[in-house]
Amino acid sequence: MRDTGERCGAAMYELEPVVFLVVGVVIVNGIAGRIGIPAPILLVVAGLAVSFIPGVPDFQVNPEIVLTVLLPPLLFAAASEASVIAIRKLIRSITQLAVGMVLITAFSVAVVLHLLIPEIPFAAGLALGAIVAPPDAVAAVAVARRAGLPRNVVTVLEGESLFNDATSLVLLRVALVGISVGTMSWGAALGEFAWASVGGVLVGLVLGLLLSATRRITRSTLATTALSLVTPFLAYQLGELVLASGVLSVVVTGLVLGFRSPYDLQPEVRLTLRATWAAIQYVLEGAVFALIGLQLWAIVTAPDIGRTPVLVISAVVLATVILIRPIWIFLTDAVIRLFQRRDSVGSRRSLVAISWAGMRGVVSLAAAQTLPLDTPYRSLLLTCTIAVILGTLVVQGLSLPAVIRMLHLPGDPEADTLRERAHAREQANRAIAAKVEEVITTHQLPEQEARRMRAWSAGRDWRGLTDDAADTDQAQRRLDRTSGWRHELVGIERDVFVNLRNAGQISEDVLRELQYDLDLEEALLDRRLEAATGHLAATTAAFDDSEEATTTGALRFQRPDGSGSDSIGR
């Protein structure tokens, strides 16, 4: 018994930091929303402050935990909500940042570091460049949405954040091989980079399609949710198993499943997944920035940190990282304009906003800590990484809202959203009206019945058909008759919204909002029908038998689960 109690006590002791971390994330996020400071920055500051409290243990998070446990679900959640249509439209701009920007930043840092300290192997400098190259766009996207950046600029930042981690981690892997063998084999490195990219996309695509088919077959909400929770880890492990990019596998899997969600999932499943992943994303995004702050003091007080040359070198690396981003963005834009191929990102003011949204985060910190202990100048590389993370979060993170306001970017994202939502509802109303007229004409309904159907479908207030006769046989019969027709209307609306999304006429965010309303409505309808049929099953069965024998010219619609049909007749 004593051993059992000791084990339970030890388990609770290990769980306590996690519990306090989650509670702290919730509190700091709430404070950030009230005082107007970006939550990621305030979380870093709060984590650093907490690390000075007596009795708080040193946080030394295993970098593998960050890369294999925290990063996959974060990327999967972001990819599931991303717009495949918008990313495909802006793929050139996203590729220039997620691939070109990472590579040019990594090699620039390597060259600068090698010029400052010629004794450092180029592979070690390239490793540092790969570590600090990818911006963590969680904070940038949050600030961009709140400040009202145009939607296409936000899409570019989101797309960059999805794919740049894969580029940097693959490049880091190549650089570590160069460190271990003492020289860079560029041919082998290029081949490994190519396979990691192509293989990661293939693994993610195949897994996404397989899981899409599985979700269509699996109708259990709990089973689908459980499968969704393990999907990012499964995708990551499969990608790494074939020596490809596990991060890229996770992203592509999330994009496929997010795009296929309207076709694959039942309304109640989508509602559950939405709530589940919103909570997971909220906690993990806060936790990764809090962990940076909690680990900062232990890292910056390492033996070699306080030396003047180290601080100077760190400042030069930080300046290189900050400056290379606008240089690359405006240089590529000039080349594009030279050949008269205008990008769809927008004006040069939009490019300024993108140039300044380059904050680094926990991925850089975790990647730096994966450096082998015998890496040349490892303490210096860690110091430079911390300088870049802190410098970009403070310099760019705090000033980004002001920069966006000063740019006075054209367009109104809120007005665009309202316009798209109104357009989608107008198209859905037209499709429903056309369907009603088709049913009326096909079945030659009497004028009174036709008028009632037109009025009802226009308002689509199915509750009014049963509220006046609650808990009666009449209520049950009317609800059973109208349920199939209401599902038909919801199906028409959903098809219209999805087709508009696929055609690029509404954004993924607008589709999610409209689909969320439909899912709530349809789930409530199913719950009401289930409750009514539960205590009137015998009456309904008897009524259906008599109705089948006596009613002619009835309209029948298949229920969504295929279990039967409902009718509206004379």
The Cα–Cα gap between 433 and 459 comes to 11
What per-residue string of b and e applies to 489-521 under the rule 16 or more CB within 10 Å gives b? Answer: bbebbbebbbebbeeeebbbbbbbbbbeebbeb
Give the whole-number percent of the chain exceeding pLDDT 70.
Answer: 79
| Cα–Cα distance measured from residue 101 to residue 164, given in angstroms and rounded to the nearest whole number | 9
Give the Cα separation of 424 and 507 in Å (integer): 11
pLDDT value of residue 5 = 54
**Where exactly are the structural domains of the chain?**
2-407, 415-568
Spatial separation of the C-alpha atoms in residues 355 and 102, rounded to whole Å: 13
3-state secondary structure of 440: helix
DSSP structure class, residue 213: H
Residue 553, pLDDT > 70, answer no
Most confident of 253-257, 348-352, 355-359, 410-414: 253-257
pLDDT tens for each residue of 272-327 = 999 999 999 888 888 888 887 887 777 666 655 555 688 889 999 999 999 999 99
Highest mean pLDDT among 187-191, 303-307, 544-548: 187-191
Q: At residue 565, what are phi and psi to the nearest 5 degrees?
A: -135, 155
Give the least confident one: 275-284, 336-345, 402-411, 500-509: 336-345
CA distances (Å), 285 to each of 512, 522, 562, in order?
21, 32, 40
142 — pLDDT class (breaks 50, 70, 90) = low
For range 541-553, the mean pLDDT: 40
What pLDDT is attached to residue 343? 53
* Topology annotation, domain 2-407: Na+/H+ antiporter like fold (1.20.1530)
pLDDT at 408: 81
Q: To which residue do tokens 């100048």 refer?
A: 377
Measured distance CA(136)–CA(428) in Å, rounded: 38
135, pLDDT greater than 70:
yes
Q: What is the pLDDT of residue 401?
A: 81
Angle at CA 321, nearest 5°, toward 315 and 325?
145
Q: In this structure, what are the phi and psi dihedrals at residue 505, rounded to the nearest 5 degrees?
A: -85, -20
User: Tens digit of pLDDT for each residue in 223-272?
Assistant: 999 999 999 999 999 999 998 999 999 999 999 999 999 999 988 899 99
pLDDT at 344: 55
Q: Tell me which residue has tokens 């009795």.
A: 55
Specify whether the backbone of 471 is left (phi greater than 0), alpha (psi in -120 to 50) or beta: left
* Of the listed ranges 9-23, 271-285, 328-342, the one predicted with least confidence: 9-23
Most confident option among 125-129, 338-342, 413-417: 125-129
CB contact at 8 A, 292 and 240: no
**Residue 346 has what DSSP assignment?**
-
pLDDT over 90, % of the chain? 25
Sign of CA dihedral 251, 255, 256, 261: positive
Residue 375, classed as helix, strand or coil, is coil
Helix residue spans in 463-536 (DSSP H): 473-502, 508-535
> Which SS3 state, helix, strand or coil, does residue 53 take?
coil
Beta-bridge mates of residue 556: 567
226 sits in the region (left: phi over 0; alpha: psi -120 to 50; else beta) called alpha
Separation in Å, CA 310 to CA 118, 362, 380, 387, 390: 14, 22, 7, 10, 15
pLDDT at 491: 84
Average per-residue pLDDT for the chain: 80
**245 and 174 in contact (C-beta within 8 Å)?**
no
Nearest Cα neighbor of 378 from 285, 326, 452, 302 is: 302
Query: What's residue 484's pLDDT?
Result: 66
CA torsion, points 392, 395, 400, 401, in degrees to nearest 10?
130
Considering only 9-13, 79-83, 157-161, 204-208, which range has the smallest mean pLDDT? 9-13
Q: Are 349 and 407 in contact (CB under 8 A)?
A: yes
Would the pLDDT of 538 be above 50? no
- In this predicted structure, the answer to whether residue 15 has a pLDDT above a threshold of 60 is yes
